Amino acid sequence: MNAVLIALLLLPLLGAVATLAPLGTDPQAADRRALRLGVAVTGAVLLLTVVLAVGFDHGAPSRMQAVTDLRWIPAIGVRFHLGVDGISLPLIVLTALLTFLCAVYSTKRLPDGEGTPSARSFTGLLLLLEVGMLATFAVLDLVLFFVAFEIVLIPMYFLIARWGSGQRVPAANRFILYTLLGSAVMLLGFLLIGAQAGTFDMTELAAAHGSGLSHTTQVIAALAIVAGLAVKAPAWPLHSWLPDAHTSAPTVGSVLLAGVLLKMGTYGLVRILLPIVPDGTATFAPYLGALAAVGIVYGSLACLALARPGAKGDLKRLIAYSSVGHMGFVLLGIASLTPVGVNGALFANIAHGLITGLLFFLVGAVKDRYGTADLDTLAGTTGAALYGRAPRIGALLAFAAVASLGLPGLAGFWGELLAMFGAFDPAAGLSRPAFVTYMVIAGLGTLLTAGYLLLVVKRVCMGDPSAPPAGGPEGAGQPAPVAEIPDIRPYEAVSWSPLAALTLVAGLWPALLLGLSDPAVKHLLGGG
Amino acid sequence: MPGTLLGSHLLLGQPAMTSPVPAVTSMATSTSLASAAPGSFVQSIDWVAIAPPLIAALAALGVLLADLFLPAERKRALGWLSVGGLALALIALLPLAHGDARSTFCLRNVAGATGNAALSSGACSYVADHFTLAFQLLALGGGLIAALLSVHTVDEEKLPGGEYWFLLLSSATGAALLPASRDLATLIIALEVASLPAFALVGLRRDGRGAEAALKFFLSSVTATAVMLLGVSFVYAATGSLHLSAIADGLAHAPAQLKPLAEAGAALTLVGFAFKVAAVPFHFWLPDTYTGAPIPIAGYLSVVGKAAGLSGLALVTTIAFRPYGHTWGLALAVLAALTMTAGNVAALRQRGGTPHSAVRLLAWSSVGQAGYLLVPLAAAGYSEAAEPIGATVVYALIYGVVNLGAFAVVAAVSRSTGSRLDDYAGLFARRRWTALALAFFLLCLAGLPPGIVGLFGKVVVFRAAVDAGLGWLAVVMAVNVVIALYYYLVWTAKLFAPAEQPVTERRLPAPLAATLGLTAAVAAVLSVAPQLVLQVAGGSLF
């Protein structure tokens, strides 16, 4: 099994290197070959993750499996330590799935235009990105985690800066500078832990559960780590890079950014912060909970403001802000420090990856068809009437929106419910009134979320398909929406249906994920 | 060179000569070749230990002589002679790599080291330990890469060959001698041997910029030397010795009325070294010097020149001024914070369209990098052992490889287009591998994957700071890493942007291509196996 895990990291890396090799003299043929190579490699990776999931001992998800533990840099005590447990396995599968779907989607729909680089570079960067994302969830050494955390930055930077639209270079700069500042501070926290505990090994440190680290060390290290991961998650008020990055990123970039990159932050909180510096975490949990609650309401209000008629709201921006709200639930669950809350957080993590990935795909398709993602231009006077013009896309968009607002029976429901449960009865030592307040605020946030998502569905999906397009006064300077648009295309159906199906499965059968994560979470929290 | 060494030593060795015990080294490590008859007044010299700088010095003399007899059309051979000499000097490091430290030019009895075996082994003027070897590797290796870069520059810019190669080899000799020297006189002589030829090298390009650059460099450097000499004389007056280990002893036991003198001396010596490493506020000469110098020389100065200053600073602080650890530790920490911030902020302000902006950016970024290099030195002031110095050595080695690589690309690009940052637009489309190599070097300098080795360089520096309890300095450095990332990234992004206008590319000369390949290969190998360089940080250095 450990060979599978190593191959999982090696395969995309080799694929990325292969895109540098000459693929033929004709640039167009080389591009096609590169895109096919991307699909083949990501497909193989997805198969490997399925093998990993099947071979995983589901009877003991709290145990690290497929472990590789080698000396890499003895000089500074860094080990090449890999492994998966019930917490990381779902995230690895999600990552491989989303990357594969993105690769499939890109074969037909790669952003083009003046100055867009070749598809070879795109494939190379996508594969490099996959290496970093998978490695983040698979490594068990603090320094290695930091390295994996950093690997994703350069590919994502170039995906936004070169294949994006609008203010793409400033957005990409803001993304990378914010994240790097966060992760550099996080590294200081890791080094402090390493200096005190004498090891960077996550499993050892988690087993020690904070013993050997003084309270002061724990508090300082926790502060540094929370700061770094909160930028990535993102937690309010460190989220301001996210809307710009999402608005400018190409569809594939948005899907991976929301679907995987944000999860790296919350995964780090669960994997590193909770078990390794428990005292420090307990000190900061109430503040983290407060930030989460503010983030939930802030994200929803920002979305409501964007969804209003006349606000010139960009749909991608809106979904980016909705991510701030949804990640707020994840953070709230983690801050409760209870098994229920953390399980909910992990579930919400996966659910958000599936649903928001789907939403970004759909919005990307709408943007392609109409040439704009501006809600006012799209909606015109009566609404964009997707139900009438492209009924399948309209139905999928409505499905994703309803899943996102947390309808019972779909994936979005369980995670947020459990996170709020966790906040209702937080771990011993945390102020219950404070957390109950956060829970009430979060509950209010769900109402607001339902409000803006239904508003978006109303403005985008409903309307009169025969109404004249609103290209007039307020749409000056923007492309007028087209009246006739094609419905879902085969490659779109292929890349979207797995996400929709999994959203349904996770909603109807939550035990599939919770059964994996629950023992592992209890183990990390020191209970089992 | 041997003459200088011996001379300086004999001068210092006078107390020993007058003592009843003849000044004979009893080092077990000295080879049979060098063993002298007991009781003789002739010093035995460990020739193997001093081989690396010696070979470089002999090569310098050889080049100077050969220049007289070679016909003009065969002067190219001088370049290859120098490259060969430096390669030989590097090979001479190999026998020293294993086994214990070897010392030569030792005294049996000096002030403060009476009869104590442990101390008397420190009273040697030349020691080849791991610290020495690492910095000699950097000095000679950096010199070798600079020489490879220079082969075509000397031809194309019609620089006087004999002089150029002689000066380069002399300077490399000084830089290689410096980390081995363990007394202040040898140290300063080595430092001057490293710097004096560099002034001339900077001024060799006979245009207005070259002369101005050389003058600025000369004046600031000579001021630094003068200040340093004053400091050294104070220290000598207060402690009665020039040997570093004896100074440490002397400072600890200095009489109360000599304390102010000793402290002033230490401070002035440090100021002198701060000039040499271009630490803020003594850095103003650097960008103009780099832009005025031939590009290989700018690269050489940014790596070997800095390494020389740093190794001297490390020796003086961690050995000689050990008793004042907390004082210079704090001073160096402040200096490091100021240097990295000033360098990075100035680099940030470079505009792509101004002439020579690529070299200016590398110049300012090298100021910023010098700030990172000072961090472990500052940390060493706070810890009992000299352990943190390992981080400086590691970082200097990594920085040396990737910075010279970046200068190699600058040299390649300036042949066809120019050395503005804007000239790099579209390089990827024109020259795939050159552009990829530069992108890799820049990301290594920034410390971001795929430049893994640069990232680990930063990690060890951070670790040194955190271990020493210098949390504030680590945070300042974290902010600086982010600032630096921005300008490195803007440059990297330019490589992949569409070109401004079509450019006809000239073929890359073989030595230049070889340099590029060599530096990129070393950086790539180190990225996969960082242990190769990081082990220096793990073991004991002195």
The HSE-up count of residue B509 (CA atoms within 13 Å, CB side) is 19
Contact B471 A194 (CB under 8 A): no
- Say if A214 falls within a structural domain: no
Q: Residue range B155-181: average pLDDT?
A: 92
Surface-to-core class of residue B40, CB atoms within 10 Å of its CB (0-12 exposed, 13-18 middle, 19+ buried): exposed
Q: Residue range B406-415: average pLDDT?
A: 92
pLDDT at res. B160:
87
pLDDT at res. A42:
95
- Say if A383 falls within a structural domain: yes
pLDDT above 70 coverage of chain A, percent: 95
pLDDT in tens, A352-368: 999 999 999 999 988 88
Could you give the CA distance from residue A20 to residue B439 in angstroms, rounded to a whole number? 14
Give the H or E element holding residue B102: strand B102-106
Contact A220 B450 (CB under 8 A): no
- Name the residue with tokens 């000598």: B236
Which tokens is B144 given? 């070798």
Closest CA to A180 of A155, A142, A139, A150: A150
State whether residue B158 is helix, strand or coil. Answer: coil
Under a CB-based contact definition with an 8 Å cutoff, are residues B328 and B317 in contact? Answer: yes
Query: Is B497 an 8 Å CB contact of chain A?
Result: yes
- Say if A194 falls within a structural domain: no
Q: What is the ipTM of this complex?
A: 0.90
Under a CB-based contact definition with an 8 Å cutoff, are residues B352 and B422 in contact? Answer: yes
What is the number of other CB atoms lying within 10 angstroms of the CB of residue B279?
Answer: 28
Residue A85 CA to its chain's centroid (Å): 19
Query: Is B295 an 8 Å CB contact of chain A?
Result: no
- B181 and B52, same structural domain? yes
Please give, rounded to a whole number of angstroms, the shortest distance from the CA of A165 to a CA of chain B. 15
pLDDT-derived band at A482 (thresholds 50, 70, 90) equals low
Q: Which contacts (CB < 8 Å, 24+ apart) does range A222-225 have?
A: A222/A189, A222/A273, A222/A277, A222/A279, A222/A280, A222/A281, A222/A283, A222/A284, A223/A189, A223/A280, A223/A284, A224/A185, A224/A186, A224/A188, A224/A189, A224/A192, A225/A186, A225/A189, A225/A190, A225/A268, A225/A272, A225/A273, A225/A277
- Name the residue with tokens 């994997």: A271
Contact B463 A157 (CB under 8 A): no
Q: Is the pLDDT of residue B14 over 50?
A: no
pLDDT at res. B245:
87
- B526 and B390, same structural domain? yes
Q: Report which residue type is found at A295.
A: G
- B416 and B308, same structural domain? no
Please give, rounded to a whole number of angstroms, the shortest distance from the CA of A188 to a CA of chain B. 7
Question: Lowest mean pLDDT: which of A150-159, A381-390, B219-228?
Answer: A381-390
Which of A151, A157, A188 is nearest residue B475 as measured by Cβ atoms? A188
Q: Residue range A291-296: average pLDDT?
A: 94
The alpha carbon torsion through B47, B48, B53, B57 (nearest 10 deg) reads 50
pLDDT in tens, A163-173: 888 888 999 99
Which of A150, A169, A195 is nearest residue B467 as measured by Cβ atoms? A195
- Say if B138 falls within a structural domain: yes
State whether residue B199 is helix, strand or coil. Answer: helix
Q: Is the pLDDT of residue B80 over 60?
A: yes
Contact B482 A20 (CB under 8 A): no
Q: Residue range A33-61: average pLDDT?
A: 92
pLDDT at res. B443:
94
Chain B CA closest to residue A148:
B449
- Say if B279 falls within a structural domain: no
Chain B residues with beta carbon closer than 8 angstroms to that of A181 = 478-479, 482
Could you give the CA distance from residue B327 to residue B57 in angstroms, rounded to a whole number? 38
- Say if B280 falls within a structural domain: no
- B114 and B194, same structural domain? yes
pLDDT at res. B118:
42
Chain B CA closest to residue A175:
B486
Beta bridge partners of residue B102, listed in sequence order: B128
Could you give the CA distance from residue B428 to residue B491 in angstroms, rounded to a whole number? 12
pLDDT in tens, A109-131: 777 666 678 888 899 999 999 99
pLDDT at res. B51:
93
pLDDT in tens, B432-443: 889 999 999 999
Please give, rounded to a whole number of angstroms, the shortest distance from the CA of A262 to a CA of chain B. 19
**Region of A113 on the Ramachandran plot (φ > 0 left; ψ -120 to 50 alpha; else beta):** left
pLDDT at res. B181:
93
Q: Is the pLDDT of residue B31 over 50?
A: no
User: Which DSSP symbol is given to B126?
Assistant: E
Q: Report which residue type is found at B116.
A: N
- B195 and B260, same structural domain? yes
Could you give the CA distance from residue B385 to residue B318 in angstroms, rounded to a whole number? 9
Number of domains in chain B: 2
pLDDT at res. A469:
52
Going from the C-alpha of B527 to that of each of A147, B134, B336, B449, B489, the distances in angstroms are: 12, 19, 26, 9, 19
User: Which DSSP symbol is given to A269?
Assistant: I
Could you give the CA distance from residue A521 to residue B2 in angstroms, rounded to a whole number? 68
Please give, rounded to a whole number of angstroms, the shortest distance from the CA of A186 to a CA of chain B. 10
- B301 and B366, same structural domain? no
- Say if B540 falls within a structural domain: yes
Across chain B, mean pLDDT equals: 85
pLDDT-derived band at A490 (thresholds 50, 70, 90) equals confident
Between chain A and chain B, the number of residue pairs with CB atoms below 8 A apart is 91
- DSSP secondary structure letters along A91-149: HHHHHHHHHHHHHHHHHH----STT---HHHHHHHHHHHHHHHHHHHHB-BHHHHHHHH
pLDDT at res. A368:
84
Contact B436 A180 (CB under 8 A): no
The A-side interface with B (CB below 8 A) comprises 20, 72-76, 115, 117, 121, 128, 132, 143, 146-147, 150-151, 153-154, 157-158, 161-162, 169, 173, 176-177, 180-181, 184-185, 187-188, 191-192, 194-195, 220
pLDDT-derived band at A294 (thresholds 50, 70, 90) equals very high
Going from the C-alpha of B238 to that of each of A43, B241, B249, B264, B312, the distances in angstroms are: 74, 8, 11, 10, 20
- Say if B22 falls within a structural domain: yes
Chain A residues with beta carbon closer than 8 angstroms to that of B475 = 185, 188
Q: Is the pLDDT of residue B326 over 50?
A: yes
Domain that holds residue A455: 284-528
Q: Is the pLDDT of residue B1 over 60?
A: no
- B261 and B177, same structural domain? yes
pLDDT in tens, A427-471: 888 899 999 999 999 999 999 999 999 999 988 888 777 765 554
Listed by number, the residues of chain B in 503-532 with a beta carbon closer than 8 Å to a beta carbon of chain A are: 530-531
Backbone angles phi, psi at B258, to 5 degrees: -95, -10
Cα Dmax for chain A: 71
Contact B474 A188 (CB under 8 A): yes
- B290 and B192, same structural domain? yes
- B421 and B330, same structural domain? yes
pLDDT above 90 coverage of chain A, percent: 60
Closest CA to B6 of B158, B266, B186: B186
Could you give the CA distance from residue A424 to residue B213 in angstroms, rounded to a whole number? 70
What is the number of other CB atoms lying within 10 angstroms of the CB of residue A26?
Answer: 10
Q: Is the pLDDT of residue A286 over 50?
A: yes
Contact A147 B462 (CB under 8 A): no
Q: Residue range B3-7: average pLDDT?
A: 40
Please give, rounded to a whole number of angstroms, the shortest distance from the CA of A150 to a CA of chain B. 6
For chain A, state the CA radius of gyration: 22
Residue A449 CA to its chain's centroid (Å): 18
- B264 and B350, same structural domain? no
pLDDT at res. A525:
86
pLDDT at res. B122:
52
Chain A residues with beta carbon closer than 8 angstroms to that of B535 = 74-75
pLDDT at res. B540:
65
Contact A76 B460 (CB under 8 A): yes
Backbone angles phi, psi at A73, to 5 degrees: -125, 85
- B434 and B311, same structural domain? no
- DSSP secondary structure letters along A458-508: HHHH-S-TTSPP--SGGGTTSPPPPS------HHHHHHHHHHHHHHHHHHH
State whether residue B504 is helix, strand or coil. Answer: coil
What is the number of other CB atoms lying within 10 angstroms of the CB of residue B61?
Answer: 14
- Say if A452 falls within a structural domain: yes
Could you give the CA distance from residue B468 to residue B528 in angstroms, rounded to a whole number? 28
Chain A residues with beta carbon closer than 8 angstroms to that of B463 = 76, 191, 194-195
pLDDT at res. B193:
94
Contact A176 B485 (CB under 8 A): yes
Which of B443, B467, B478 is nearest residue A184 as measured by Cβ atoms? B478
Chain A residues with beta carbon closer than 8 angstroms to that of B538 = 74-76
- Say if B43 falls within a structural domain: yes
pLDDT in tens, A317-341: 999 999 999 999 999 999 999 999 9
Question: Lowest mean pLDDT: which of A152-156, B66-70, B96-100, B226-230?
Answer: B96-100
Which of B485, B489, B537 is nearest residue A76 as measured by Cβ atoms? B537
Could you give the CA distance from residue B190 to residue B195 in angstroms, rounded to a whole number? 9
Give the H or E element holding residue A48: helix A27-55
Chain A residues with beta carbon closer than 8 angstroms to that of B436 = 20
Cβ within 8 Å of residue A439, ≥6 positions away: A332, A420, A423, A424
- Say if B281 falls within a structural domain: no
Q: Which contacts (CB < 8 Å, 24+ apart) does range A509-512 have?
A: A510/A347, A510/A414
pLDDT in tens, B234-284: 999 999 888 998 898 888 888 888 889 999 999 999 988 888 888 888 888
Domain that holds residue B538: 321-542
pLDDT at res. A503:
93
- B405 and B261, same structural domain? no
Backbone angles phi, psi at B243, to 5 degrees: -75, 135
Query: Is B468 an 8 Å CB contact of chain A?
Result: no
- Crossing angle between the packed helical segments A27-55 and A2-18, to the nearest 10 degrees: 170
Number of domains in chain A: 1
Please give, rounded to a whole number of angstroms, the shortest distance from the CA of A480 to a CA of chain B. 30
Chain B CA closest to residue A162:
B497
pLDDT in tens, B90-130: 999 998 888 778 888 887 654 444 444 444 445 788 999 88
What is the number of other CB atoms lying within 10 angstroms of the CB of residue B34?
Answer: 18
Q: Report which residue type is found at A486.
A: P
